[in-house]
């Protein structure tokens, strides 16, 4: 593609349940629908393949890196549709039988894995009867920024709770797009989701694509949804408040360049 050609991306929103097979079937339908709308990069939400009834369910479906039902599914979808797939998250074995890596894998249009990021910031929250502690079943990845090169520029990878740690995004350096697959709780999402996403876009002067879980799940959990695409000025291009579907919008390299030229904040950094 030429330097200023637009590139359409999609964030899928799901309400994943306790059946891996049903979740994959629904994800495949949503990918196909996004492609018909012109998407050339499709990002799935965190836990797209399973939101189980307890933490142990993730361990039961954990795959060895490089092989397994879920990884084969992502590779096939990328290859068959000829698009980039940012595979939300799936559980990969960590070497610790009690914990998995919550991993994001990226596949190019040939179905080849080109990037992997293991979530490093693990969510912990307790208020009233609502309580989460991801460290019980998830092992944190190495604190190293993960990126890959797409036709329109560099893409930075992060997952859900990472959104609260701006230093991770600063360390990515000169990304055109940040992807944030998430399963924000209704409580924290309603308070902080959009403002954090817009802040990351503004301070890094890049697009932000945020696929999310959005609805009431079989396990009783309620997620916030509001999957969205945000431009480098912090404007929301598209948003899906709740329920399954997708948001599709264009990455415009020319707009990104104009914003960085008119307000060269990234060049003004002293730290």
User: Catalytic annotation on 46?
Assistant: yes
- What the block records as the tokens of 172 is 């990515």
Catalytic residue among 46, 134, 242, 252: 46
Catalytic residue among 160, 242, 244, 252: 160
- What the block records as the tokens of 201 is 């876009």
Task: Report CA 164 to chain centroid distance, whole Å.
Answer: 14
Q: What is the DSSP string of the chain?
A: --TT--EEEEEEEB---S-HHHHHHHHHHHHHHHHHTT-SEEEPPTTTT---SSTHHHHHT-B-TT-SHHHHHHHHHHHHHTSEEE---EEEE-S-TT-EEEEEEEE-TTS-EEEEEE--SPPEEEETTEEEEGGGTB----S--EEEEETTEEEEE--GGGGG-HHHHHTT-S-SEEE--B--BHHHHHHHHHHHHHHHHHHHTSEEEE-BB-SB-TTS-BB---EEEE-TTS-EEEEE-SSSEEEEEEE-HHHHHHHHHHS-TTTT---
Catalytic residue among 40, 58, 119, 139: 119
User: Catalytic annotation on 119?
Assistant: yes
Q: Which amino acids are annotated catalytic?
A: 46, 119, 160
């Amino acid at each position: 593609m030429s330097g200023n050609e637009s590139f359409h991306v999609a964030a899928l929103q799901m309400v994943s349940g306790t059946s891996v097979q049903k979740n994959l079937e629904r994800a495949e339908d949503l990918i196909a629908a996004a492609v018909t709308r012109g998407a050339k990069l499709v990002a799935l939400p965190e836990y797209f393949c399973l939101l189980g009834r307890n933490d142990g369910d993730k361990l039961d479906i954990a795959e060895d890196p490089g092989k397994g039902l879920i990884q084969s599914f992502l590779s096939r979808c990328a290859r068959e549709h000829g698009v980039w797939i940012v595979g939300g998250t799936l559980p990969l074995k960590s070497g610790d039988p009690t914990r998995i890596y919550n991993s994001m894998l990226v596949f190019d249009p040939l179905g080849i894995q080109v990037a992997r990021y293991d979530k490093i910031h693990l969510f912990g929250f307790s208020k009233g009867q609502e309580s989460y502690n991801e460290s019980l079943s998830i092992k944190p990845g190495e604190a190293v920024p993960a990126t890959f090169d797409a036709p329109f520029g560099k893409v930075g990878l992060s997952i859900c709770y990472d959104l609260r740690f701006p230093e991770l995004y600063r360390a990515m350096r000169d990304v055109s797009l940040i992807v944030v697959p998430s399963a924000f709780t209704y409580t924290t999402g309603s308070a902080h989701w959009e403002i954090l996403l817009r802040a990351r876009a503004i301070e890094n002067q890049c697009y932000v694509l945020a696929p999310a879980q959005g609805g009431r799940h079989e396990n009783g959990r309620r997620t916030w949804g509001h999957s969205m695409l945000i431009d480098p000025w912090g404007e929301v291009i598209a948003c899906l408040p709740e329920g399954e579907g997708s948001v599709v919008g264009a990455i415009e390299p020319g707009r990104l360049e104009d914003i960085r030229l008119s307000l060269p904040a990234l060049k003004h950094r002293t730290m």
